[in-house]
Chains A and B, each alone.
Chain A
Amino acid sequence: MARPLPQISARPDAPWFTLLNALRDAGHTGVKEGCAEGDCGACAVVLVDGMTAPARPRAINACLTLAAAVADRPVVPADGLGGPQALHPVQRAIAANGGSQCGYCTPGFVAAIAEAAHRTDWVHEGDLDDALSGNLCRCTGYRPLREALRATAGSRPNDVLASLAATTPRPASVSAPSPRGGFWAPATLEELWWIQRDHPDAMRVAGATDVGLAINLHGARPHAVIALDRLPELRGMDADADRVVLGAGEPLADVEAFTRTELPVVARMLRMFGSRPIKMRATLGGNLANASPVGDLAPVLLALDAHLVARSPRGDRTIAMDDFFVGYRATALAPGELILHASIPRPRPGQRHGAYKVSRRREMDISAVAFAGRVSVDANGCVIEARLAYGGMAATTARARATEQALLGRVWGPDAATAAGASLDRDFTPLSDVRGSAGFRATLARNLLLAFAIETEHDDFVALPALPTATVVTR
């Protein structure tokens, strides 16, 4: 028999306590610590997320999830899906097929594949691997795990996840003060403003995928935490003829699904962004507010000339992406201010656009260089406007202004990109680090611009094929 749902203790005195440790302390030792940095997925469990209607199973990394943020919500580890004598169909598909060897990663794969069993949004072969992008296995070589995925994906089993999806309500607000701080999860912005007023130093987290790293690896122990993941005001995605509006609190997996049809250039970058379990918790707003020098979404929004709407108790204001990053991990947001949504102009017909990312491994890796571009041409094909945004080349995501200038007036195509690319050396002085040397980064920056020009010499945008060899699509 499967075990009953875990009882997760919230511990308001330790709001930094992770779901992984809470589950292991509660005897759910099938949830493993493989890395404590959200890369290996050995701790993956399924959260049934009532923020969507109907509620939606999401495989998430327990190591990067705050226990307090989900203590009152249904969390299903592998042991809750089936027991050794009564296997869940996903467990059976893995077990019978040679999908487990040492078994340490297996419960996490079960969580990921069980989530996939309830998915309906398959688009192409590549999505199947996306379902496994957050799980590492060192034993099997993945072939049997992929077969188990293919055998069960989208099968909608009548299981505990299905019944929880039908019955899980939108999570209510949480207020759990402690002598040293506490944990709050407001369910309206109005509530948030009052909590912020009383606890101005509280740390605000969305999916906690970056804060979780700070807790696990760098000893961060925030004693006052406000979770933003129950705020309906931050949700919602909308598109009209001119713009696409993405709620800052939308999980990136949902943004990816929405933009596949509505704004494919965003989806193209998100496909290579993090892993699916990370994207189930990480949000658009968190990614931007975090201001990582390589935050892969930022170059896309910058190139597309997006603007952000930020809200505070005093009202709303608009911040252009061009003005948003003000320094290394610093943004134009005022204290207490919150990104409400991003508003992205749809590329007009004829506007060339693309998004690229090179990393050591295609899946779940941080880029050496990320790049996005949008180029407008006149009737003769000459460049009249260029927005070229790079991540990994400077302390912040930044535009290549000199290169943009050098493109103006040239006939868009590989020759223009090659000629203008020489200016990248004036725009950037990249660093050498674990992801690549300065010389490699400089070469990639030039080559990605060239690839963009090859891809879009005759097309506005080119989609990535299933199972791409590279981030660029050029023969």
Chain B
Amino acid sequence: MSRTETAHLSAALHATGEALYADDCVPPDALHATLAIAQSAGGRLLAVDLRAAAVTDGVVAILTAADLKARRTIGPIRHDEPVFTDAEVATWGAPVALVVATTREAAMQAASQVVATVEGSPLPPDLASADDAGIYLTDPHVITWGDVAAAEASAAIVFESEVETPAQDHFPLETHASWASVSADGSVHVVASTQHPTEMAREIAAVLGLPEALVRVEVPRMGGGFGGKESQSTPMGVWAALAARHTGRPVVVRFDRRQHMGWTGKRHPFRARSRAAFDATARLVSHTVDLVSDGGASLDLSGPVMDRALFHLDAGCFTPNGRFTGRVARTSRPSNTAFRGFGAPQGLAVTATVLQRAARHFGLPLEEVWRRNVYTEGRDVAPYGQVIEDPRGAAVLARVCSQSDIEELRREVDRFNASSVYVKRGVGVAVATFGISFTNAMLNQAGAVVNVYTDGSVRVHHGGTEMGQGLHTKVATLIAARFGLPIGRVIVADTDTGIVPNTSATAASSGTDLNGAAAMHAADAIAERLATVAATSWGVDPSTVRFEDGSLHSAVGSRSFADVAQAAWVQRVPLSAAGTYATPGIQYDRVAGRGTPFAYHTFGAAVVEVEVHGLTGEHRMRRIDIVQDCGRSIAPLIDRGQIEGAFIQGAGWLTTEEVRYDGLGRVTTLGPSTYKIPSAGDVPAHFQVTLLPNADAPRVVGHSKAVGEPPLNLAVAVPAALREAIGAFGPGEPILGLPASPERILAAIDAVRRG
């Protein structure tokens, strides 16, 4: 199978509207359920009045905490989220009841009539007030290395910076949805839009008091996930299953866009206080950073998000001394959660800002400061003690600089700026070094089942979920290549916890690394058996048999794959195998702040040119150049799509997208009319993405590298470019608030002009 232009396996179904998602295959007799929320930002729940809702036309049942007979709380790490609130209301959107009705319209109508009485005061509404009040969800995580005091004493310059990065809504086009049915034997079947079917199944089992073996969660595909469906899809399945058991009928729970945006968590806002010391050659000699994130009302995945932020504060730059600390504040906001990048972009954004200050101070182009600081052989030990193997930051940076002809670009920008009063341009550069692996070693495992049929067709089940990232396409590509088959002979089945159990979330960019490797182990087992069958018929050594062009080949002959599969079946050789994979060599001691949390790192670099208007604060990206290390890409078309999409999503986070909250911590941007993700017109015609050539990654499946999250980090080049453009308006140092709305850009220009 050539690794060239494999399109997404479902592309034709997508384009014809025939691809089915969870809400597209709800049984016709299903009931519709929706949440009634406390309509309060916080306090003690005193009473819930269901009387008006109960007599609404079409209402079949109303479930509350009183209907919970086993475990009453859920949560991915700490079980601190009530299935139904019965005591503390911690956030707007706290569920007090689930209204089940014959139509969605009736359920919504009834739910709006549930009245909860809440007394007391809410949690702090934002990070700053929670930090001031000392209200946290975690203890500090500290990574200390070297001697900061000595380094600062000998430094040429020390910068103190405060950097805040904003929240971001995932905005998958498909909102949360799950439906459940319960069989007469008590077994539960759920069809869900989730990145983590196993966690959903476990929590359903715990809340319903069932053995996990009786709960099966199936994922056809998701209309986008981006981390938002890693932990926060779980309650959808729990509510649907509870209601299905209660009513004896299938029940669907779907959030509309307003519910989805109002009641679910976002990318964690972070605040960083940084002291960065550079020597006279613009090299970092120490970096001290205190991070606080806004975890929202419950822990969710905030701990590991903070861990990854700390691990990426190095920005892929060798920093000989430093101290990074991070702590999660508790606020009344909907619990913040996983979002593509998982803290890394928030960490990188801090150090990228500092490097830009250094560039300005030393009068160097930003790319030169990056070049002097990125990990290289000999300067390759990360703050947490891991040696960065085969560092490629300098390689991707050099390549993107030449691809974008950055020197000429800078000259052009200078010429333009000299001749323009109200419009200025700027060039931004970023390098993203991203650690691959779940930082909790336990999660780095996967399973798969491969079935070969007697006609030579192949069916693959694995534990990963398809959310658009092309995981199934990559796995099919790997398996097809292993068997020497065209990709059309390989079917990747919908994810099903009844077939591949105990899976990890499809997250951390690891979907292909883990599930692809597990599936390959299964395929290897079958291939060895088939090779033996064929080799025996030829009288040759099985190790000499090759799988190519739909056939098995040896020095003495060829037989079609189907023919050999049929022969194996006749000889009672099993054509099905299970495979597993566990990433070797990773461990981390959180107390010591030392270890090898990552299997490997990926590297990418970007150059961005922007134009800013000084009268309106509007801007446009004029050029984007990216070089990304994907190892030996399994599916270049898909990897390119991941890179382009992630970059634009990151650009949205830092520019047009702004989650707004009121003084209670309640989300007020509840739809795309007020929350603006990038649209087609925001993307420049020049958008050139290159995969780093000759970049084999020998220890990863197919010698490829993960790609889902890393390129999102590159979007920090956009505010870097904006700052350069803003800086061209006057003498002052450009300080740009994020996200860079026209209002913030105009304010930054005003400050720069005043000096």
Task: List residues of chain A with CB under 8 Å of any chain B CB.
Answer: 2, 28-37, 39-40, 42, 77-79, 81-85, 87, 91-92, 94-107, 110, 125-126, 129-130, 132-133, 135-146, 217, 358-366, 368, 434-437, 440, 443-444, 447-448, 450-451, 454, 467-472, 474-475
- B interface residue count range (under 10 / 10 to 19 / 20 to 34 / 35 or more): 35 or more
Contact between chains at B682 and A362 (CB < 8 Å) = yes
Contact between chains at B674 and A96 (CB < 8 Å) = no
Please judge, given known A-B contacts A91-B16, A102-B224, A141-B645, whether A475 and B678 are in contact too, CB under 8 Å: no
Query: Measured between alpha carbons, how far is A132 from B646 in the docked complex, in Å?
Result: 19
Please judge, given known A-B contacts A32-B223, A40-B173, whether A96 and B615 are in contact too, CB under 8 Å: no
Please judge, given known A-B contacts A368-B742, A440-B743, whether A103 and B221 are in contact too, CB under 8 Å: yes
Partner of B173, one of A31, A32, A471: A32
- Closest Cβ of chain A: how far from B421's Cβ, in Å? 6
Contact between chains at A100 and B11 (CB < 8 Å) = yes
Query: Measured between alpha carbons, how far is A83 from B14 in the docked complex, in Å?
Result: 10
Query: Measured between alpha carbons, how far is A107 from B223 in the docked complex, in Å?
Result: 12
Contact between chains at A35 and B645 (CB < 8 Å) = no
Please judge, given known A-B contacts A105-B173, A469-B611, whether A98 and B638 are in contact too, CB under 8 Å: yes
Q: Does B15 belong to the interface (CB within 8 Å)?
A: yes
Partner of A100, one of B10, B24, B256, B682: B10
Query: Measured between alpha carbons, how far is A132 from B681 in the docked complex, in Å?
Result: 8
Please judge, given known A-B contacts A434-B674, A450-B615, whether A87 and B12 are in contact too, CB under 8 Å: yes
- Closest Cβ of chain B: how far from A5's Cβ, in Å? 14
Contact between chains at B14 and A35 (CB < 8 Å) = no
Task: List residues of chain B with CB under 8 Å of any chain A CB.
Answer: 7-8, 10-21, 23-24, 170-175, 221-226, 256-258, 419-423, 467-470, 611-613, 615-620, 637-638, 640-641, 644-649, 656, 658, 660, 668-669, 671-674, 676-683, 685, 687, 741-743, 746
Query: Measured between alpha carbons, how far is A171 from B467 in the docked complex, in Å?
Result: 42
Please judge, given known A-B contacts A40-B672, A138-B226, whether A133 and B680 are in contact too, CB under 8 Å: yes
Please judge, given known A-B contacts A37-B671, A101-B645, whether A469 and B620 are in contact too, CB under 8 Å: yes
| 12 pairs, CB–CB < 8 Å, chain A vs chain B | A37-B257, A136-B672, A138-B677, A141-B645, A141-B649, A141-B683, A143-B644, A363-B679, A436-B742, A437-B743, A469-B423, A469-B613
- Closest Cβ of chain A: how far from B19's Cβ, in Å? 5
Which chain A residue shows the least CB distance to B224?
A102
Contact between chains at A434 and B16 (CB < 8 Å) = no
Which chain A residue shows the least CB distance to B6?
A98
Partner of A360, one of B172, B419, B676: B676
Contact between chains at B679 and A136 (CB < 8 Å) = yes
Contact between chains at A82 and B679 (CB < 8 Å) = no
Partner of A475, one of B16, B170, B421: B421
Please judge, given known A-B contacts A95-B11, A138-B677, A364-B679, whether A104 and B173 are in contact too, CB under 8 Å: yes
Contact between chains at B257 and A36 (CB < 8 Å) = yes
Which chain A residue shows the least CB distance to B739?
A360
Contact between chains at A37 and B672 (CB < 8 Å) = yes
Contact between chains at A79 and B683 (CB < 8 Å) = no
Query: Measured between alpha carbons, how far is A107 from B618 in the docked complex, in Å?
Result: 31
Query: Measured between alpha carbons, how far is A468 from B620 in the docked complex, in Å?
Result: 8
Query: Measured between alpha carbons, how far is A78 from B23 in the docked complex, in Å?
Result: 18
Contact between chains at A96 and B11 (CB < 8 Å) = yes
Contact between chains at A98 and B7 (CB < 8 Å) = yes
List residues of chain A with CB within 8 A of the CB of B12: 84-85, 87, 91, 95
Partner of B641, one of A29, A101, A110, A471: A101
Please judge, given known A-B contacts A87-B12, A140-B641, whether A129 and B221 are in contact too, CB under 8 Å: no
Query: Measured between alpha carbons, how far is A91 from B640 in the docked complex, in Å?
Result: 20
Contact between chains at A37 and B173 (CB < 8 Å) = no
Which chain B residue shows the least CB distance to A111?
B17
List residues of chain B with CB within 8 A of the CB of A79: 16-18
- Closest Cβ of chain B: how far from A176's Cβ, in Å? 21
Contact between chains at A36 and B256 (CB < 8 Å) = yes
Contact between chains at B256 and A33 (CB < 8 Å) = yes
Contact between chains at B681 and A136 (CB < 8 Å) = no
Query: Measured between alpha carbons, how far is A358 from B680 in the docked complex, in Å?
Result: 18
List residues of chain A with CB within 8 A of the CB of B671: 35-37, 39, 217
Query: Measured between alpha carbons, how far is A448 from B743 in the docked complex, in Å?
Result: 14
Please judge, given known A-B contacts A95-B14, A101-B469, whether A467 and B224 are in contact too, CB under 8 Å: no
Which chain A residue shows the least CB distance to B641?
A98
Q: Please list the 5 inter-chain residue pairs (A to B) with the smallest Cβ-Cβ separation, ordered nearest first.
A: A30-B17, A102-B468, A104-B223, A103-B14, A141-B644
Please judge, given known A-B contacts A40-B672, A143-B644, whether A100 and B613 are in contact too, CB under 8 Å: no
Contact between chains at B618 and A475 (CB < 8 Å) = no
Query: Measured between alpha carbons, how far is A144 from B656 in the docked complex, in Å?
Result: 21
Contact between chains at A358 and B173 (CB < 8 Å) = no
Which chain A residue shows the least CB distance to B638?
A98
Please judge, given known A-B contacts A363-B680, A470-B613, whether A78 and B648 are in contact too, CB under 8 Å: no
Query: Measured between alpha carbons, how far is A82 from B15 in the docked complex, in Å?
Result: 9
Please judge, given known A-B contacts A95-B7, A360-B676, A361-B678, whether A142 and B615 are in contact too, CB under 8 Å: no
Query: Measured between alpha carbons, how far is A437 from B669 in the docked complex, in Å?
Result: 15
Query: Measured between alpha carbons, how far is A94 from B329 in the docked complex, in Å?
Result: 44
Contact between chains at A358 and B618 (CB < 8 Å) = yes
Contact between chains at B645 and A139 (CB < 8 Å) = yes
Partner of A94, one of B15, B172, B224, B467: B15
Please judge, given known A-B contacts A102-B468, A103-B10, whether A361 and B679 are in contact too, CB under 8 Å: yes
List residues of chain A with CB within 8 A of the CB of B221: 102-103
Contact between chains at A31 and B645 (CB < 8 Å) = no
Contact between chains at B470 and A475 (CB < 8 Å) = no
Query: Measured between alpha carbons, how far is A181 from B641 in the docked complex, in Å?
Result: 51
List residues of chain B with CB within 8 A of the CB of A360: 656, 658, 676, 741-742
Query: Measured between alpha carbons, how far is A82 from B422 in the docked complex, in Å?
Result: 49
List residues of chain A with CB within 8 A of the CB of B423: 469-470, 474-475
Partner of B687, one of A92, A106, A141: A141
Query: Measured between alpha carbons, how far is A344 from B222 in the docked complex, in Å?
Result: 50
- Closest Cβ of chain B: how far from A305's Cβ, in Å? 26
Contact between chains at B681 and A83 (CB < 8 Å) = no
Contact between chains at A365 and B676 (CB < 8 Å) = yes
Query: Measured between alpha carbons, how far is A265 from B679 in the docked complex, in Å?
Result: 24
Partner of B15, one of A87, A359, A368, A469: A87
Which chain B residue shows the least CB distance to A92?
B15
List residues of chain B with CB within 8 A of the CB of A136: 171, 173, 672, 677, 679
- Closest Cβ of chain B: how far from A457's Cβ, in Å? 13
Query: Measured between alpha carbons, how far is A146 from B640 in the docked complex, in Å?
Result: 15
Which chain B residue shows the least CB distance to A358?
B616
Query: Measured between alpha carbons, how far is A467 from B681 in the docked complex, in Å?
Result: 8
Counting chain B CB atoms within 10 Å of each CB, the highest count among A35, A87, A137 belongs to A35
Query: Measured between alpha carbons, how far is A474 from B615 in the docked complex, in Å?
Result: 9
Contact between chains at A142 and B469 (CB < 8 Å) = no
Contact between chains at A98 and B637 (CB < 8 Å) = yes
Query: Measured between alpha carbons, how far is A146 from B619 in the docked complex, in Å?
Result: 20
- Closest Cβ of chain A: how far from B745's Cβ, in Å? 11
List residues of chain A with CB within 8 A of the CB of B673: 35, 37, 39, 366
List residues of chain B with CB within 8 A of the CB of A468: 620
- Closest Cβ of chain A: how far from B616's Cβ, in Å? 5
- Closest Cβ of chain A: how far from B109's Cβ, in Å? 8
List residues of chain B with CB within 8 A of the CB of A133: 679-681
- Closest Cβ of chain A: how far from B96's Cβ, in Å? 21
Partner of B468, one of A2, A84, A87, A101: A101
Partner of B223, one of A102, A436, A447: A102
- Closest Cβ of chain B: how far from A210's Cβ, in Å? 12
Which chain B residue shows the least CB distance to A31?
B17
List residues of chain A with CB within 8 A of the CB of B669: 434
List residues of chain B with CB within 8 A of the CB of A359: 742
List residues of chain B with CB within 8 A of the CB of A87: 12, 15-16
List residues of chain B with CB within 8 A of the CB of A98: 7-8, 637-638, 640-641
List residues of chain B with CB within 8 A of the CB of A103: 8, 10-11, 13-15, 19, 221, 223, 468
Please judge, given known A-B contacts A29-B20, A98-B8, A475-B419, whether A138 and B173 are in contact too, CB under 8 Å: yes
Please judge, given known A-B contacts A29-B24, A35-B257, A105-B173, whether A467 and B8 are in contact too, CB under 8 Å: no
- Closest Cβ of chain B: how far from A96's Cβ, in Å? 6
